[in-house]
Structure 1
Amino acid sequence: MPITPRLVVELYADPYYRGRRVTLIDSVSDTAEVGANETTSSIKIYKGPGFNTAPNYKAIFYEHPKFRGRKLILSPGYYPNIHEIPYNFGDIISSVNLSPAANPTPPEYGAIPVIIEAFQDTDYQGQKSVILRDVSNMDDIGMDSVISSIRIYRGPHFPFNGCGIIFYENPNFEGNRMTIYLDNRQYRREIANLHGQERFGDIISSIKIAPMGNFNILIVIGDNSTTEPAILETLLLVEGSKFNYTTVKINSNPDNKGDPYNAVPLSSIELSEFDIIWFTWNAIGHDGEYFVEDAEDAIKNFVKKGGVVWASAMDDNNNEKPGQPWRGDWLPINRHPIEVKNSDDVNVEVTDSGKKTGIFTWPHKIDLNSLTTDDHWITRDRAYKVFARRQDNKDPISVQLRWGDGYYVTFAMDTRDAIKSQMSKTFMENILCYLASLAWQTSPRQPLKSRYNR
């Protein structure tokens, strides 16, 4: 009897149907058997010749072999990047079951800290828009510069420490701002007439939702020249969020700007005690040395479980063998290639993706060309979102990678000069706010993640 597949599934190693492809027409209890264990980033599911005999067939993807663990149920269709919300299932598929299923896995919107109702007229009249997450340009929802009254309610994932809602007069979180706080004793706030005392009627062009929390940050030093730790340790409270710092030195070579008395292996640190790891300038390795070989897997697992990693500029010369490639296995470079290129300070421009994050405008408008940049990133992998580029050749200066539940975020910032680094202080405040907005949703230490896992 001929084989008549009900479904034909194509698994791709990279987003947007690139990289190695594996085709399935039957269930696989362990994707290692077909060379696709925890390597799938995009999927195509076709109706096979036998689909009409069982039209409720779905592809059910599991995070563990033998159809165990979390699952993602998909109907026939194209799924260009399963790393992103609403799927968040990239690089973890370990078994696939092709079988009848009543319903596919519904898309998840993500965390909703507050619910904003924005009205075109005063007294909550006229056209209404419901806003659940940041809006970098109110024109996208047809409400630019027309809001005259607002209601703000606690959302289902309201943070224990409260939430700030920031209304801006210009797109991309720029210009004058009006901030409304909702604390843990309040259930809603209302302003019936923004043209009154607030004088903010008909000018709102972007909205930033800023959950507040307490975050533990591990500062990692690999070059004693960096001034980042001293600056960061003064930033204990930013935009309502509290930051607690632990600093560790991982370079013991005194001839290479290390500390032979206080340096410890990064693998000796329990990373799960932190929400964010902050790799300072050249922390990973420099001048022919590499300091995190013992902790590469631990760093990747930290991110995969929901941690957030920040990296300032990295030295392109971190391999003890001259002429050998940059060492970066603390990132998943075997899946998402990236390297560091030698560079001097350059002029920088922000991309549309970068503008939408607010990292360069909230809480401060940053003139990136007042900062000093250094060796920067090179990648063509579309899994990396580029937030800023060189003005001349468009090489990335700042990128973000989603890995598992967490994120890597970078900016090629040089902080070895104390005077110039003071100009970076306001940018570091922005970075902290942005990293906190990610970690609040993803870090296993945060109440929201614990709530999701119940």
Structure 2
Amino acid sequence: MALAPRLVVEVFEHVNYQGRKVTVIDSVVNTEEIGVQDIISSIKIYKGPGFRAAPNYKAIFHEHANHQGRKLILAPGYYPSIHEIPYNFGDVISSISFTPAANPTPPEYGAIPLVVQVYRDIDFHGKRGVIMRDVSDFREIGLDNSVSSIQIHRGPNFPFGGCRAIFYQQPNFEGQRLTVPLGPREFQVRLRNLHDARSLHNAAQPFSNIVSSVKVVPVGSFRVLVVVADNRTNEPAVLESLVDMEGHEFEYTIVNINPNPDNYGDSNNATKLSSVILSEYDIVWFTWNGPAHDREYFVEDSDHAIREFVRQGGIVWASAMDDNIVPPDGVHTHESSWRGDWLPVDQYPIRVVNAGDVKANVTREGHQTGLFAWPHKIDVNALVLDDHWVTEEPEYVRLAVHGDDNNAPIGFQLRYGDGYYVAFAIDTRDAMKTAMAKTLIENALCYLANLAWQTSPRQPLKGRSRSMPSSRAWRSVMR
């Protein structure tokens, strides 16, 4: 053991330095030895008493044991979440080493499909702001309600199918909007005067300078696997009608994984989810009661495959699901319980509770995603909700919660590996409830497509697919 360590490293189980903490001052060949294998989410690195002898010392975090695999190199500092860009290294660290020579892992901004420049004055004059990803409130860039001209250029990660910038007159992607596309054969768009409708492509009226948020939408084609386990749900019919949304094109495959006709299954057409090659899809959509229902768990054969799909960059959506999956044994438990090993519940515990339709509040993080505003403004309390989740884990980003209870998410997002789980407790067990949920389903589909464009191994950004949407996607729309 180093008597005068050059660095003192504290690793934490959860983001924001929460959960189990372990202090490290020497190399660790396997983090299982110190009880933190593949669970490190945040890190503090201090200069130790021996730092002056080697002021370039760095800590190296390795993906595999014995200092193998990908590595994250960090200098002294605070790192509240290594799950997020620029690191994307949460829950994978299996060994730790130290070196005086390595350069720290540089921050990465992430994919940049467009470069948007907004100006206070017409003709691209005055104060300027540069935007390369969604901005939910222009107060963040000091140009709220003061944009008069705009230039949009291709970014270094410009999609093969083109991209859209959608400007809104209110924060959080609400209010009147101006959609400006940059097509596959275009390199820039210049709007010299937002006060003049003639300079706004097909806009019927001027947009004035009231611009308060912008959404950057890379356009692509996406394959969606729709998983059904309760034949009362109407989600498949809604999804199949949504083949062209906001410039995105969607192709659907529907599988029924419940063979029990006495539990709303289909004995003639049911198939095991493990027989489906998930890597052929960008998005897996679990419909209402999709993974399980009434003491039957339908994805046991594919738990690992689903988690691996997400870890590799896939996106999983889950509508509301049953809390009544594991029957009581009469000895240890007297009530049914929930099971959800298709989620990483061993690392991030969460469960479903019987709740029915409850009051929901959208969180700040939920508003910032645009899930409840783009392309439709959603009143979540006009939806019919079903059993919701309960968790204390901060890794589940709360999109909406039951009342004011932050530990009772109605909707959440979880980053896992390179991909995401996204869930919202909508009830679609009949035509009326589904009709009320249709606009949220449309919003969710668009939001998931934006995530999948960045993370899915099938998408051009990952180098496997070069499909291009049709030209009908390219319209400038003023609403």
TM-score grouping bracket, smaller chain normalisation: over 0.9
Q: Does 1:259 align with 2:266?
A: yes
**Equivalent position of 1:244 in the other structure:** 251
Mean Cα deviation higher: 388-397 or 294-303 = 388-397
1:38-91 deviation line (CA, Å, top 9, x unaligned): 121111212222111111110011112232222111011221211111111001
**Equivalent position of 2:364 in the other structure:** 352
CA root-mean-square deviation: 1.6
Give distance in 2, aligned partners of 1:31 and 1:380: 24
Aligned pairs for 1:350-429 (under 5 A) are 350-391=362-403, 393=405, 395-429=408-442
Q: Does 1:343 align with 2:350?
A: no
**Equivalent position of 1:442 in the other structure:** 455
1:123-147 deviation line (CA, Å, top 9, x unaligned): 1110011011111111111101111
Q: Does 1:213 align with 2:226?
A: no
Give distance in 2, aligned partners of 1:191 and 1:377: 45
Give distance in 2, aligned partners of 1:359 and 1:393: 20
**Equivalent position of 1:122 in the other structure:** 122
**Equivalent position of 2:52 in the other structure:** 52
The one-letter amino acid paired with 2:383 is L
Give distance in 1, aligned partners of 2:371 and 2:98: 42
CA contact under 8 A between 1:149 and 1:201: conserved in structure 2?
A: no
Partner of residue 345 from structure 2, selected from 333, 337, 345: 333
Give distance in 1, aligned partners of 2:114 and 2:239: 29
CA contact under 8 A between 1:376 and 1:397: conserved in structure 2?
A: yes
Other structure's SS at 2:308 match: helix
Q: Does 1:177 align with 2:190?
A: no
CA contact under 8 A between 1:389 and 1:398: conserved in structure 2?
A: yes
Partner of residue 444 from structure 2, selected from 431, 434, 440: 431
Other structure's SS at 1:60 match: strand
Give distance in 2, aligned partners of 1:303 and 1:26: 33
Give distance in 1, aligned partners of 2:19 and 2:172: 34
**Equivalent position of 1:223 in the other structure:** 230
The one-letter amino acid paired with 1:240 is G
Give distance in 1, aligned partners of 2:290 and 2:133: 34
Give distance in 2, aligned partners of 1:47 and 1:79: 14
The structural deviation recorded for 1:6 is 1.4
**Equivalent position of 2:100 in the other structure:** 100
Give distance in 2, aligned partners of 1:77 and 1:71: 17
**Equivalent position of 2:287 in the other structure:** 280
CA contact under 8 A between 2:2 and 2:25: conserved in structure 1?
A: no
What is the TM-score normalised by the length of structure 2? 0.92
The structural deviation recorded for 1:29 is 2.5
CA contact under 8 A between 2:56 and 2:100: conserved in structure 1?
A: yes
Other structure's SS at 1:320 match: coil
Mean Cα deviation higher: 216-225 or 197-206 = 197-206
Give distance in 2, aligned partners of 1:427 and 1:8: 47
**Equivalent position of 1:200 in the other structure:** 207
**Equivalent position of 2:75 in the other structure:** 75
Give distance in 2, aligned partners of 1:338 and 1:130: 39
Give distance in 1, aligned partners of 2:362 and 2:121: 35
**Equivalent position of 1:294 in the other structure:** 301
- Are residues 149 and 339 of structure 1, via their aligned partners in 2, closer, same or farther at CA, if it must alter by over 3 Å? same
The structural deviation recorded for 1:393 is 4.8
CA contact under 8 A between 2:327 and 2:335: conserved in structure 1?
A: no
Gap regions ≥5 residues in structure 2: 201-205, 329-333, 465-479
Q: Does 1:303 align with 2:303?
A: no
CA contact under 8 A between 1:164 and 1:209: conserved in structure 2?
A: yes
- Are residues 206 and 263 of structure 1, via their aligned partners in 2, closer, same or farther at CA, if it must alter by over 3 Å? same
The aligned length equals 452
- Are residues 433 and 103 of structure 1, via their aligned partners in 2, closer, same or farther at CA, if it must alter by over 3 Å? same
Other structure's SS at 1:424 match: helix
**Equivalent position of 2:475 in the other structure:** none
